[in-house]
Copies of this chain bind each other. A is one copy, B any other.
Amino acid sequence: MFETALTKELGIEYPIIQGGMMWISKKELVSAVSNAGALGILSALTFDTPDALAEEIEQTKKMTNRPFGVNLTFLPTLKPVDYGAYVDVIVESGVRIVETAGRNPEKYMDKLKGAGIKVIHKCTSIRHAKKAQAIGCDYVSIDGFECAGHPGEDDVTSLILVPRAVDELDIPVIASGGFGDGRGLVAALSLGAQAVNMGTRFMMTEEAPIHPKVKEVLLGAKETDTILIERSLKNTMRVWRNELSERIAEMEKSGATLEELAPLLSGRRSFEYIMRGEPEKALVACGEVIGLIDSVPTVKEVVNSIIKQAKGVIENNYALVGSK
């Protein structure tokens, strides 16, 4: 059921991929997702050193014998990151699925493809999607405006971006941004995607390694409770709307400089507050789909309920054309 060319090639049961989330996509969540028949993805840069990533991969392998991937995000960072060393660790670990994001992975493609790794490139525009295909990526995961984290600067929504990518590309497309239930999965498949990528929905599970208080406040969030920050830095990020994110947005409107904004934008500081259960002091990446989320179940329950709901939706749709 729900077997697509993608599920076969990646060796997963369902066309559902867990988005690589900084600080969150660790072994507990990733192994649970893969064990549930979807694809878990570790976030490489969550680990301070390539060795720490290698160790996390080994631990994850002990927790699942199903495929999982590693996300590698190329973003401007304060401290330079030795991406080559992370790539080496991934290649040597035997992981066979890598999700890249931020800048394109051209520099590392030979090494990744040489190791038989399937590369999913995550991007937010058709231009970047075409580039990803041109350099040999196997899949494009395209992120609409509604997504958590970085939607890019074009503000095109998944409803448009997914079929546009499908029309422009020869490689399969993964729909990302705005997906969280079975209705969304069928919508994504209908738009031509071969799978959905979900971050926020998997963040709101028992296994996601963040403080329960964070999940609790997000449970009360509506679809209007996200906000875009860092637009003035051309590094737009969708986060949970709280006093901190509203203050940052206001400062940006008033022309604040990077120097003025930087102290508020530290990801590591936010992460510490998130782990400590003080979400009001943190920037919490969060997609508009949060408005559709009203429970914190186990990962397995999430995956099973999506598949069950999607099946029902497809059968209902079929009834509309089955007659006459």
- Which A residues contact B (CB, under 8 angstroms)? 1-4, 125-126, 144-146, 154-161, 163-164, 167, 177-179, 181, 183-184, 186-192, 222-224, 288-289, 291-292, 310-311, 313-315, 317-318, 320-321, 323-324
Contact = CB atoms under 8 A, between A and B. Distances in A.
B163 A288 contact: no
13 contacts: A1-B320, A1-B321, A2-B320, A144-B157, A145-B145, A146-B156, A160-B178, A160-B223, A160-B288, A163-B181, A164-B291, A184-B191, A189-B320
A317 B146 CA distance: 24
A321 B317 contact: no
Contact of A160 (B1, B160, B289, B323): B289
For the complex of A and B, 9 pairs with smallest distance between CB atoms? A159-B178, A187-B187, A186-B190, A157-B157, A146-B157, A318-B318, A160-B288, A187-B190, A314-B317
A314 B190 CA distance: 7
A163 B186 contact: no
Given A145-B146, A317-B317, 10 more contacts: A1-B324, A2-B321, A4-B320, A125-B224, A159-B159, A159-B288, A160-B292, A163-B181, A190-B313, A314-B318
B184 A163 contact: yes
Question: Chain copies in the assembly?
Answer: 2
Contact of A315 (B158, B161, B164, B321): B321
Contact of A179 (B3, B125, B159, B188): B159
Contacts of A311: 321
A161 B179 CA distance: 12
Contacts of A186: 186-187, 190, 317
B187 A323 contact: no
Contact of A323 (B1, B156, B310, B314): B1
B154 A157 contact: no
Q: Which secondary structure characterizes the binding site on chain A?
A: helix
A119 to B, nearest CB: 25
Contact of A161 (B160, B177, B223, B318): B223
